[in-house]
Amino acid sequence: MGYAHRPAARVASGPMPWEERAACGKYDPEIFFGTTSSDERRAKAICGTCQVRGECLASALTDRVDFGVWGGLNERERRSLLRRYAGTSDWLELVSQNGVARLVASGS
C-alpha cells in the first residue's frame, strides 16, 4: 500500500522493505480506500496480482489498520482474521505458512 497511507507510526520509520515491490504503487492510493463495492472489487483485483500481498496483509493485521483494502482484504475480512487468530503474535509467519487465500477460506 502506498507509503503515504500507512499508519503514522510506520510512516515515521520509512517504507517497509516489501512496499517498493507492491502492485498498488502504480495506482492512485485512493482506489484502496474507496466507498463503493466497485472500488473494493478494483482494489482487490490489483491485490490479486501482487507479489507481496502476504506481506501487505501481515503488516495491516499487525498494525490493526481499520480502513481500506490491504493484502486483498477489506476491513471486515481483516477483523474476522483478527478474531479467528486472536492469539497470533507473528502475522507474517501465519500468512506465509498458510497463504492469504487459505486463511480467508478457513473462515468461510
pLDDT of residue 103: 87
Q: pLDDT-based confidence at 8, cuts 50/70/90?
A: very low
pLDDT of residue 64: 94
Q: What is the DSSP string of 28-72?
A: -GGGGG-SSHHHHHHHHHHHHT-TTHHHHHHHHHHTT--SS-BTT
Q: What is the pTM of this model?
A: 0.84
Average confidence (pLDDT) over 54-72: 95
Q: pLDDT-based confidence at 106, cuts 50/70/90?
A: confident
Query: What are the structural domain ranges in the chain?
Result: 3-105
